[in-house]
Amino acid sequence: MSSTAAENKNNTLKLVGAASCSGAQDTRCDMGPTIIHSSNIISRLEQDGITADWEQNLHPHVHGSDAESIADLCAQVAKTVCNITDNQNRFAVIGGDHSCAIGTWSGAANALRNKALNTAAHHHGSLGLIWIDAHMDSHTPETSPSGAYHGMPLACLLGHGHQALLDIGYIGTKLQPEHVCLIGVRSYESAEASLLKQAGVRVFFMDEIRQRGLKAVINDALDIVDNTDGFGVSIDLDAIDPVDAPGVGSPTQGGIMAEQLLNELPQLKTRKNFIGTEITEFNPFRDVNDKTANLVVDLVCALA
């Protein structure tokens, strides 16, 4: 007897804490996952009718700001996310600084690639990604003024960066430029802008969001990820205006208002190929009245 894909789908939201911190100069984002883990997040999801559990909290085995130390945690994150996706559950990774994205999306890409190989499909298991961020995160070690790895994850996923970070999950590029877009960008250096431009990655700057509205931009973003085998969203909380998200690693003026984002994000989960969420750069030490902590919970619920 054959069963349908719908019957096989396990449909549980698996939350994963990834305490990445060595990718940033301010390492206090490592407390973010702990704070969210101890919040009301699971009961909030259950109130919304979502089956959810907190799968695991991952910590670096070694603390160092070199590529090998970053790669250690990213490899753990990749393995966990790959297993969740293999089991046809959705994931929500709570960072940590944004360097954990190398792990999250390498793991997702690995699962999609294995699935395509196993089914002898005519496609290659392509990953789609909507990257919501004030920054481009597209530096390489050669161009980064700070050398901080949370400024490099998107470049790594596109195949540019330290070798140790390119080989996570499997050896090879995880993300094709035509399957990714950035939303909310307003602070960047010219070297990363030209890397994305040369690759042909679509960037929705804040100016365009103000002109056209977030709804139109999210619709365009969904067109970009529509034909992939699976897509997700990586949210750097600094994309959101510091008025609404003060507790972040690098607050940047002039961002997306939280309410707008919460209104538009639920469109993502209506797509059949939506596989998971990542929320990064929550720094509880900079938070004001738990505003940012509560927003993380709201964002996970909006995407669950």
Contact set with Mn ion (CB under 5 A): 98, 133, 137, 236
Q: Please, what is the minimum distance in Å from the beta carbon of residue 135 to Mn ion?
A: 5
Tokens of residue 160, six digits:
């540019």
Shorter beta-carbon distance to Mn ion: residue 28 or 271: 28
Alpha-carbon gap, residue 70 to 28, rounded angstroms: 15
Alpha-carbon gap, residue 43 to 114, rounded angstroms: 33
Shorter beta-carbon distance to Mn ion: residue 137 or 192: 137
Pick from 59, 53, 97: nearest CA to 77: 59
DSSP class of 100: G
Q: Please, what is the minimum distance in Å from the beta carbon of residue 241 to Mn ion?
A: 15
Q: Please, what is the minimum distance in Å from the beta carbon of residue 280 to Mn ion?
A: 6
The gap between the terminal CA atoms of the chain, to the nearest Å, is 31
Listed in sequence order, the residues at least 6 apart from 60 whose beta carbon sits closer than 8 Å to its beta carbon are 19, 20, 21, 22, 69, 72, 73
Shorter beta-carbon distance to Mn ion: residue 91 or 149: 149
H or E stretch covering 58: strand 52-58
Q: Please, what is the minimum distance in Å from the beta carbon of residue 3 to Mn ion?
A: 40
Shorter beta-carbon distance to Mn ion: residue 91 or 282: 282
Listed in sequence order, the residues at least 6 apart from 38 whose beta carbon sits closer than 8 Å to its beta carbon are none
The vertex-23 CA angle with 21 and 25, nearest 5°, equals 85
Q: Please, what is the minimum distance in Å from the beta carbon of residue 252 to Mn ion?
A: 10
Shorter beta-carbon distance to Mn ion: residue 137 or 287: 137
Q: Please, what is the minimum distance in Å from the beta carbon of residue 52 to Mn ion?
A: 25
Return the residue nearest Mn ion (CB atom): 236
Burial (CB count within 10 angstroms: exposed 0-12, middle 13-18, buried 19+), residue 283: buried
Shorter beta-carbon distance to Mn ion: residue 45 or 136: 136
Alpha-carbon gap, residue 82 to 300, rounded angstroms: 19
Alpha-carbon gap, residue 191 to 10, rounded angstroms: 43
Q: Please, what is the minimum distance in Å from the beta carbon of residue 2 to Mn ion?
A: 43
C-beta separation of 244 from 291 below 8 A: yes
C-beta separation of 152 from 144 below 8 A: yes
Shorter beta-carbon distance to Mn ion: residue 239 or 303: 239
Q: Please, what is the minimum distance in Å from the beta carbon of residue 102 to Mn ion?
A: 11
Shorter beta-carbon distance to Mn ion: residue 102 or 303: 102
